[in-house]
Amino acid sequence: MFHVIDFTQIKEEGLYEIDIPLKFTASVGTRVHGLACWFDVLFNGSTVQRWLTTAPGSPTTHWYQLRCVLSQPLYVMAGQEITGQLRMVAHNAQSYTLYLTLSGVVFLHTPILFCLAIFFTFEQAVINLNS
């Protein structure tokens, strides 16, 4: 899945808080251990277009992928829909605090990630929806 931000249209204030809706369908029964995030940027020049990507397998840059690892796996069945939200809130260290919410049949999982460069720490709350 992907989320598009058009930098020719968005105002600076629109980058202070970014909400990305998440929706996946499991192709097999499995355990979900987390979410991986990266970005691609098109520099649309007047004569040449250039892409910058931080995708896995691409040449390394000083930007990296982000791994949002869950403390407990989310168990899903084939065909099950997983929904959620990735909320990015800018902070004074020129980065974002990430709030990830994933929901499946059993758990609502919301880790809070504090990102800076390639290092991050997280606090998390797991709420059993069957209680």
Looking up residue 63, the CATH number of its domain turns out to be 2.70.160.11
Indicate whether 112 belongs to any domain: yes
Residue 39 has pLDDT above 80, yes or no: yes
Indicate whether 61 belongs to any domain: yes
Indicate whether 5 belongs to any domain: no
User: DSSP string covering the chain, please?
Assistant: ------TTT--GGGGTEEEEEEEEE-SSSEEEEEEEE--EEEEE-SS-EEEEE--TTSPP-SS--EEEEEEEEEEE-TT-EEEEEEEEEEETTTEEEEEEEEE-SSEEEEEEEEEETTEEEEEEEEEETT-
Q: What is the pLDDT of residue 104?
A: 61
Q: Identify the residue whose tokens are 């990305």.
A: 20
Indicate whether 9 belongs to any domain: no
Q: What is the pLDDT of residue 26?
A: 93
Quote the percentage of the chain above a pLDDT of 70. 79
Paired residues of 44 in beta bridges: 49
Residue 84 has pLDDT above 70, yes or no: yes
CB of 109 closer than 8 Å to CB of 70: yes
Q: What is the pLDDT of residue 36?
A: 86
Indicate whether 59 belongs to any domain: yes
Indicate whether 3 belongs to any domain: no
Indicate whether 1 belongs to any domain: no
Q: What is the pLDDT of residue 113?
A: 54
Domain span including residue 111: 16-128
Residue 109 has pLDDT above 60, yes or no: no
Range picked from 38-52, 54-68, 111-125 for highest mean pLDDT: 38-52
Indicate whether 2 belongs to any domain: no
Paired residues of 124 in beta bridges: 111
Structural domains of the chain, count: 1
